[in-house]
Structure 1
């Protein structure tokens, strides 16, 4: 197929081309809707257009309408990349003639799957012209494959939930409450906490790029490597957290066409109320002080794991004697979109945690979940959400 990729962001456009470059198609690109339309007018006989929705000037929906109007002799498959999922947006895009959507930030493996789906549609159209009988047989085969895939995904979801630690646990003077809210049957988020002895324990939180089946498989693999490295079970007290993360970075270097990378946070908490943290591109943990003041972020960010070789990671120390709670979470919370596309954001999340200071620990995670559902307008989220709330039971907070 001839495929035209349209996006005003050079990096995103190159990532799309890279993600589907191994599929053997004739690839073309344009940096705007206007440029894409000019290429089609000039004779580029495309079979599939992959376009960003929001672009300066001509949007992806506008481009789709123009393509439909100017190329009536045959159907061109049109795939929109968007972070917008409201009913009104969906209907307007359908009226313009879009065939399918992919939510941004997109999973490269899912994008490749969408392109393969377009291939199958063109193949099915050809089969329809040749024989209705052949088409019926192909549909049955697709139904069987879909049924098998659904069964496999549900089995994987049960396996993943079985790998998670208990949602509520206590280590000495600290308690934790946690939850995983997948955006689909399986999740690219995963977390764990583990006893290191001498009233010391550790925890980690991972967020694989993208979501769905491929991200879930990556989370399984990374969890296994974390165990093999000795982070869980044979943790070396003399070894820095950053050295563990750096070793994971060398193991999980991305190589075409996989583009595998993830963000991570690794922490240990000792009996003297000191917390060591290594942050690798993961959202900043949010601490709530015992003096009733507003929550505040911890850390400096760091670089995701698996993108580049030779990255140095840092760790920082947190004195928990004046901290009531620390919340570790993935960006599915702060990037949760409302009905009009507005993101929940860090400030709203900090306000939510400030208001939750008067609640028992067991009520905090349910309060966050309900806030996400209310904001998003349902529990089918755009991205996976995971959260761990660490509470210092001996730190008595003042009223916020």
Structure 2
């Protein structure tokens, strides 16, 4: 037998038999085949040896004084081991019930007494294959565990980075509420994951006008979040000189681009400068705080909704192409007027595309029902209540970012000039 082809270390075999002659015969056969042999004259002494040294194979007589081979096998299987031990029962029994009893006790194989040398080697060779497969499986599991450990450590690092990225992205929405006297604006931004592709905001245009916007970048994750950060810089309220929506007049005061013009400008800017496969939907509104006049553009974003003071909901716009998808895309400016008590709601598709228990999307009809049911609430309280209503409707965690701008018009703002 070529032992070197199986393993560099000789396998250890424990021979258990109360017959000294039988042990000597088996030991001699095994030694000639290159095995390291240990002997025990009883099951009790065999257990003591197994507690100190783990044999690879056990050859045990079935019928012995004191502890039988069956009892010894059961005790052997209960012992803690680093590797598997292959157990062969030596017996003159051939009844099927006896064989079944031996297998149930944990034996792997049987050999009829007197033992034939060729058959013994054949049974041990079969056992070698089992032990080799067990060793290879343990090694693969070790490598897999090591790889999983490295991946877990890497994931923990990424997870910490994403948590910080989430904080940074949330910081892009520097102000979530502002009162303009007889009007107020409230924002909500809730990513479905660590970071998302939604962005909401507002900035003053001049003393009587304010701009509101909502953006939803295609996809999720880091790429989308990076693009929202870039877009936040383009629509910055703290740096009007860098805000592409604003134009400084010859008198040194700021005016704003027409909403449709702004969408077209952003579309060209994304395609020419960003050179990315990402695109985004946009809702942008220019609101007059004195008259309540609203001019807005809808570029692939869900329809803006006006919750009238009387209780009905009116949806505006006719759709429009997303920004950064097609060269030369054109957009339309839509206008309306808010009366005292009216509210303008600009929400992302993470709201209208919530899947309800009946398998249908919430859509504009469902959003309308929710806004009407919540009309007694105001500001961030209304937005928070809407978010939890969406959770209840979906029955599970929301799988898309949820963002919205709520503008509430209570009457004309005093004209300071």
TM-score interval, normalised by the smaller of the two chains: 0.5 to 0.7
Is residue 340 of structure 2 the alignment partner of residue 314 of structure 1?
no
Residue pair 1:192, 1:205 contacting (<8 A) in 2 also? yes
Is residue 298 of structure 2 the alignment partner of residue 279 of structure 1?
yes
Residue pair 2:292, 2:339 contacting (<8 A) in 1 also? yes
Partner in structure 2 of residue 209 of structure 1: 218
Partner in structure 1 of residue 202 of structure 2: 193
Following TM superposition, by how much is the alpha carbon of 1:154 offset from its aligned partner in structure 2, in angstroms? 0.2
Is residue 258 of structure 2 the alignment partner of residue 240 of structure 1?
yes
**RMSD over equivalenced CA pairs, Å:** 2.8
The alpha-carbon distance between structure 1 residues 310 and 366, as it changes in their structure 2 partners (threshold 3 A), is same
Residue pair 1:276, 1:316 contacting (<8 A) in 2 also? yes
How far apart, in 2, do the equivalents of 1:255 and 1:229 lie? 16
Following TM superposition, by how much is the alpha carbon of 1:323 offset from its aligned partner in structure 2, in angstroms? 6.0
How far apart, in 2, do the equivalents of 1:141 and 1:172 lie? 56
Residue pair 1:269, 1:276 contacting (<8 A) in 2 also? yes
The alpha-carbon distance between structure 1 residues 143 and 360, as it changes in their structure 2 partners (threshold 3 A), is closer
How far apart, in 2, do the equivalents of 1:363 and 1:296 lie? 22
Show structure 2 runs of 5+ residues with no match. Answer: 1-135, 237-241, 413-417
Question: Deviation digits for residues 31-64 of structure 1, max 9, x if unmatched?
Answer: xxxxxxxxxxxxxxxxxxxxxxxxxxxxxxxxxx
How far apart, in 2, do the equivalents of 1:208 and 1:323 lie? 32
Following TM superposition, by how much is the alpha carbon of 1:256 offset from its aligned partner in structure 2, in angstroms? 12
TM, length-normalised to structure 1: 0.61
Corresponding residue to 2:342 among 312, 324, 347: 324
How far apart, in 2, do the equivalents of 1:192 and 1:233 lie? 18
Is residue 198 of structure 2 the alignment partner of residue 181 of structure 1?
no
Is residue 404 of structure 2 the alignment partner of residue 387 of structure 1?
yes
How far apart, in 2, do the equivalents of 1:206 and 1:248 lie? 12
How far apart, in 2, do the equivalents of 1:169 and 1:298 lie? 24
The alpha-carbon distance between structure 1 residues 176 and 238, as it changes in their structure 2 partners (threshold 3 A), is closer
Residue pair 1:276, 1:315 contacting (<8 A) in 2 also? yes
Partner in structure 2 of residue 337 of structure 1: 355
Partner in structure 2 of residue 221 of structure 1: 230
Corresponding residue to 2:393 among 375, 387, 397: 375
Following TM superposition, by how much is the alpha carbon of 1:182 offset from its aligned partner in structure 2, in angstroms? 1.2
Aligned length: 267
Q: Rg bigger for which structure? A: 2
Residue pair 2:247, 2:254 contacting (<8 A) in 1 also? no
Partner in structure 2 of residue 300 of structure 1: 318
Partner in structure 2 of residue 348 of structure 1: 366
Question: Deviation digits for residues 113-168 of structure 1, max 9, x if unmatched?
Answer: xxxxxxxxxxxxxx989855543432232122211110110000000111113222
Residue pair 1:289, 1:325 contacting (<8 A) in 2 also? yes
Is residue 176 of structure 2 the alignment partner of residue 167 of structure 1?
yes
Following TM superposition, by how much is the alpha carbon of 1:293 offset from its aligned partner in structure 2, in angstroms? 4.6
How far apart, in 2, do the equivalents of 1:391 and 1:275 lie? 12
How far apart, in 1, do the equivalents of 2:174 and 2:273 lie? 31
The alpha-carbon distance between structure 1 residues 238 and 262, as it changes in their structure 2 partners (threshold 3 A), is closer
Residue pair 1:128, 1:135 contacting (<8 A) in 2 also? no
| Corresponding residue SS for 1:161 | helix
Partner in structure 2 of residue 230 of structure 1: 244
Question: Deviation digits for residues 345-371 of structure 1, max 9, x if unmatched?
Answer: 211110111222233444311221121
Corresponding residue to 1:151 among 160, 173, 186: 160
Partner in structure 1 of residue 120 of structure 2: none
Pairing 1:80-159 to 2, within 5 Å after superposition: 132-159=141-168
